[in-house]
Amino acid sequence: MKTLKHQLLGSLVALSLLALAQPLFAQGPPSLTSHYVPGVEGIKGASLPPPGFYLRDYNVFYLASQLNNADGDEMNMDFDLMAYAQVFRPIYITKWKLLGASYGMDVIVPFAYTDLELNIPGLGRASDSSFNLSDVFVEPITLSWHGKRFDAAVGYGFYVPTGDYDAPDPTNPARTSPGKGFWTHMLTAGGTWFFDEPKTWAVSALCRYEINMENSDLDITPGQEFTLEWGVSKTLAKTIDVGLVGYYQQQVTEDNGHDGAAASDDLDHVASVGPEVNAFIPKLKLFASLRYLYEFSASDRPQGSTVTLTLTKMF
């Protein structure tokens, strides 16, 4: 199964362009084991909004021309991946209090486009593209606290395999599917700390932990995944923030077969860093953020870069 994982990594690339959770989630860099796409949260990523109804529109572009093996070395496969996702996320933060926190909920509905080309020894050049609904994320519980110098949040949600899914085909390793074919539970916890009383300087950290269920078509239960997203920011004006952001995602348990035996002992990981700028348009009650992230390390997955534009409308 370890060999199968490497042979089919190209075709599984698109399967992780799936929805996210908490304040900012969307589609992006691929992983066999992770539903959650790192990097869609940015500066003040653990700060949830006050009570009200919000609608977010995520636009994520991911480009990669490098596919790495388990040692982090580039594989000679003439790899070329372009992915775009548009994700709609209604968010409702209620006035109800639980443990002193505001209670909220949200749903994420992602649509993903993927274009993949690669060379496979013995098969030659393979290519495929797809556009369809991806796996929907439902988060029935979010709790958020707001102090004088800090924000904090925790949450629970799950990914539903609603997206179109085709089991990998060794004869067409470039075949893409917008769905991943299995359920995932995700736990979230994070906080934002403001250095100064006016709250112009902030540092944030947001952690997620994914517990994957079995993919019955492959008879494999993907390993559990940990993601850390961080950001350091400065408020330049009442409506503009700039900062440096990054993420680290690590598979922490092995993929297992249907009999509990390890399907692969390779644990994928990826890390990135980049700038971000946020702006608020008061007349439109609209927040906009633009972020670029460069992946400087990756193993057992593609290595590339992401551009994310997020729009949030207050109602």
pLDDT of residue 14: 32
- Mean pLDDT for the chain overall: 84
Q: If phi over 0 gives left and psi between -120 and 50 gives alpha, with beta otherwise, what is residue 89?
A: beta
User: Hey, is 159 helix, strand or coil?
Assistant: strand
pLDDT of residue 39: 86
What percent of the chain clears pLDDT 90, i.e. is strictly above it?
60
Residues near 247 by beta carbon (within 8 Å), at least 6 away in sequence: 38, 39, 41, 227, 228, 229, 230, 270, 271, 272, 293
Q: Is residue 266 scored above 90 in pLDDT?
A: no
Q: Is residue 21 scored above 80 in pLDDT?
A: no
Q: Is residue 153 scored above 70 in pLDDT?
A: yes
Mean pLDDT of 222-229: 94
pLDDT of residue 18: 28
Residue 210 to residue 227: CA distance in whole angstroms: 9
Which of 4-13, 40-49, 83-92, 190-199 is predicted with the least confidence, judged by mean pLDDT? 4-13
- pLDDT tens string 27-80: 334 455 688 888 888 999 999 999 999 999 999 999 999 999 888 888 888 889
Alpha helices in the chain (DSSP H): 2-12
pLDDT of residue 226: 96
Residue 4: pLDDT band (50, 70, 90) is very low
- The CATH number of the domain covering residues in 2-314: 2.40.160.40
Q: Is residue 1 scored above 50 in pLDDT?
A: no
- pLDDT tens string 89-144: 999 999 999 999 999 999 999 999 999 888 877 777 778 888 889 999 999 999 99
Q: Which two tokens stand for residue 271?
A: 């890390």
pLDDT of residue 8: 37
As separate numbers, helices (DSSP H) first and strands (DSSP E) second, the chain gives 1, 16
Name the pTM for this structure.
Answer: 0.85
Residue 174: pLDDT band (50, 70, 90) is low
Residue 192: pLDDT band (50, 70, 90) is very high
What percent of the chain clears pLDDT 70, i.e. is strictly above it?
84
Domain ranges of the chain: 2-314
Residue 22 to residue 150: CA distance in whole angstroms: 17
Q: Is residue 180 scored above 70 in pLDDT?
A: yes
Q: Is residue 272 scored above 90 in pLDDT?
A: yes
pLDDT of residue 167: 66
The amino acid sitting at 97 is: K
pLDDT of residue 259: 65
pLDDT of residue 102: 97
Residue 173: pLDDT band (50, 70, 90) is low
Residue 23: pLDDT band (50, 70, 90) is very low
pLDDT of residue 168: 63
